[in-house]
Structure 1
């Protein structure tokens, strides 16, 4: 059979094929075949929709070094204190699209869009630290790219904003944004709203996600709730995770909902270079939601998969997709006790032997998060 001229495919067939091309890089590759293919599929919009939002946050407590002398005859008045009595302040934020992908079957990277069309920042998918070893100019179309997951980053000058999720999930026309702030507060923005609105609730939340087209939030007891954007209320969706740890992460994979439960050793702490005293992670448990029976089932092994718990995105990756990686059944996560070291704050937990440590203590595991030699050779 002779070679076929793919540029001569019927227009209706090109349109049909284009309906199944969803990834940003796949769309660019499709359009680069020839002129007919390029005109059959519109150019993907990368950052024309960037959202600029105002977020109301709790003020960080300021140390008070003033000497207070009790006055027995009258009460002192400080107008400066009265002006600062509000516990909230408003900051500007920007919602930015980000993509986690595997490049050339060897490196797991996160590509964060910039204000320049078609330009990306390359960062570590776990620690969110920019990777500086790459050349200044890198054409990602020169390498095979497999998209793992997509998400959004809430860029702000304050560290109070922990995470943001968007609906619709994979559409340039953003209608709603749910933001998780420190102290477990939830804020919601809907298209047309002037400001974000707080979802009043007595519970404090550890993580948020989009599951089956809805906003979901998990509280510190392991109860997942559905966030109703109309009434600004949370409605319980699952029972709590019994005998749970101290921090929960939501993971959505193949229309299934998982919870990664993190256990801390409160008696053993370490001081990282930034001067924060944090408890150390000593154990993990993974649960999968049984929708039929409305219960959590503990997962003893991930088999040939790796679970990545990032600052913004949580996702599974089969080890067969990463050449040179032959160790599955592990959890990669951000461990503050290793910040400042060559591990960039990335830790690994082995579900088989319950061992935990810096990624550097697991031979070969750090290679997938480092720039490969063929990137930096030139």
Structure 2
């Protein structure tokens, strides 16, 4: 490996898109290490001022987490999904993939990433309140890295009452974004292909440039999205951006557990014509709708995860009382006409993430 030309190694390093790719590349040998600069440290407990109009007796702390897909080194259909928070000191916490603050804290005693195939699937951010009031009012946050200034970033946050604010890491104050749409009430935000996107309850979506804060219309409202009884989510997959409308076809309680059937309307952004185009379900995608971020997995790339189905949290659907002490997870299969139920959802969810797969070959260490 040390005999490869320096210019070839530099060209390869230019196409490393994620932190784990850079770490793996630099771990090969000395020549590989010198050809790629070390990745930036994870954003961990970064102090951020409170947005205007809220509380002024404290501040916010930003922490990033990453979801990885880990597979055995040999060709296999088995995949383990894990959400990890890493501090600047190197200490990590293993989190539940769909929840903000639910910690699993189950790790092998030792874990060498070079012994497995590891792929970064998605990133998510959490803003926590640090104040005497202990009030949590930021529903979701997404981050844009500034490629021209290493280490700097722009943060977009979805605040209560459907407001959207942005904050540059070099600024002292937040900037409120004027969507230019009088009745706009933001339901979800995302960062995709160098732009922020903010979506209202009816599917009307705008794009915000992270450098100039210029607002442009990305998509007109979708007629099938104009309902307050739906959960509206923005999810990216590969190079595409999707709008997912989730709703109950029917639901009922029977001796405690919730039974029912969940349905989805799926739209893909037509960037050139500024509109949402309805898709025929999720096709080969497995969907995960979480509190602080959502993601998709391709069933072709990860055969252990069935396409056209997925998981979501009850708290995100109207009419359901959220209890943080319970596993409020719903499983849905758009190709299965039989009713889904909460117990089945829990079983499938547990199988997808916990416990650690046996092929890791390591003793679990509960911290």
The TM-score, its normalising length taken from structure 1, stands at 0.76
Instruction: Identify the residue that residue 143 of structure 1 maps to in structure 2.
Output: 116
Say which SS state the counterpart of residue 56 (structure 1) adopts: coil
1:107–1:322 CA contact under 8 A, matched in 2: no
Distance 1:207 1:169, change over 3 A: farther
Is residue 2:229 matched to residue 1:252? no
Give the distance between the partners of 2:265 and 2:246, measured in 1 at CA.
7
Give the distance between the partners of 2:242 and 2:7, measured in 1 at CA.
40
Is residue 2:328 matched to residue 1:345? yes
1:259–1:288 CA contact under 8 A, matched in 2: yes
1:209–1:250 CA contact under 8 A, matched in 2: yes
Give the distance between the partners of 2:169 and 2:278, measured in 1 at CA.
38
Instruction: Identify the residue that residue 74 of structure 2 maps to in structure 1.
Output: none
Give the distance between the partners of 2:311 and 2:342, measured in 1 at CA.
10
Distance 1:322 1:48, change over 3 A: closer
Instruction: Identify the residue that residue 136 of structure 2 maps to in structure 1.
Output: 159
Give the distance between the partners of 2:79 and 2:219, measured in 1 at CA.
37
1:251-330 equivalence runs, <5 A: 251-264=235-248, 282-322=262-302, 324-325=304-305, 327-330=306-309
Q: From 154, 179, 187, give the equivalent of 2:165.
A: 187
Q: From 11, 21, 25, give the equivalent of 2:20.
A: 25
Distance 1:317 1:339, change over 3 A: farther
Give the distance between the partners of 1:9 and 1:237, measured in 2 at CA.
45
The TM-score, its normalising length taken from structure 2, stands at 0.78
Say which SS state the counterpart of residue 63 (structure 2) adopts: strand
Give the distance between the partners of 1:175 and 1:227, measured in 2 at CA.
14
Q: Which has the larger radius of gyration?
A: 1
1:165-184 equivalence runs, <5 A: 165-168=142-145, 172-184=150-162
Q: Deviations over 1:96-121 (max 9, x none)?
A: 2322111124211112222313x322
Instruction: Identify the residue that residue 77 of structure 1 maps to in structure 2.
Output: none
Give the distance between the partners of 1:162 and 1:250, measured in 2 at CA.
14
Distance 1:358 1:210, change over 3 A: same
Q: Deviations over 1:265-308 (max 9, x none)?
A: 899689x9xxxxx9x98432111122344332222222222011
Instruction: Identify the residue that residue 199 of structure 1 maps to in structure 2.
Output: 177
Instruction: Identify the residue that residue 372 of structure 1 maps to in structure 2.
Output: 357
Distance 1:182 1:90, change over 3 A: farther
Is residue 2:223 matched to residue 1:242? yes
Offset of 1:176 from its aligned partner?
1.6
1:89-104 equivalence runs, <5 A: 89-104=56-71
Instruction: Identify the residue that residue 122 of structure 1 maps to in structure 2.
Output: 94
1:360–1:366 CA contact under 8 A, matched in 2: no
Distance 1:369 1:169, change over 3 A: farther
Say which SS state the counterpart of residue 170 (structure 2) adopts: coil
Q: Deviations over 1:130-164 (max 9, x none)?
A: 22332455443432211112343323354321211
Give the distance between the partners of 1:351 and 1:248, measured in 2 at CA.
17
Give the distance between the partners of 1:15 and 1:253, measured in 2 at CA.
28
Instruction: Identify the residue that residue 206 of structure 2 maps to in structure 1.
Output: 225
Offset of 1:49 from its aligned partner?
7.9
Give the distance between the partners of 2:169 and 2:145, measured in 1 at CA.
12
Give the distance between the partners of 1:169 and 1:305, measured in 2 at CA.
30
1:184–1:204 CA contact under 8 A, matched in 2: yes
2:250–2:261 CA contact under 8 A, matched in 1: no
Say which SS state the counterpart of residue 8 (structure 1) adopts: coil
Give the distance between the partners of 2:279 and 2:242, measured in 1 at CA.
9
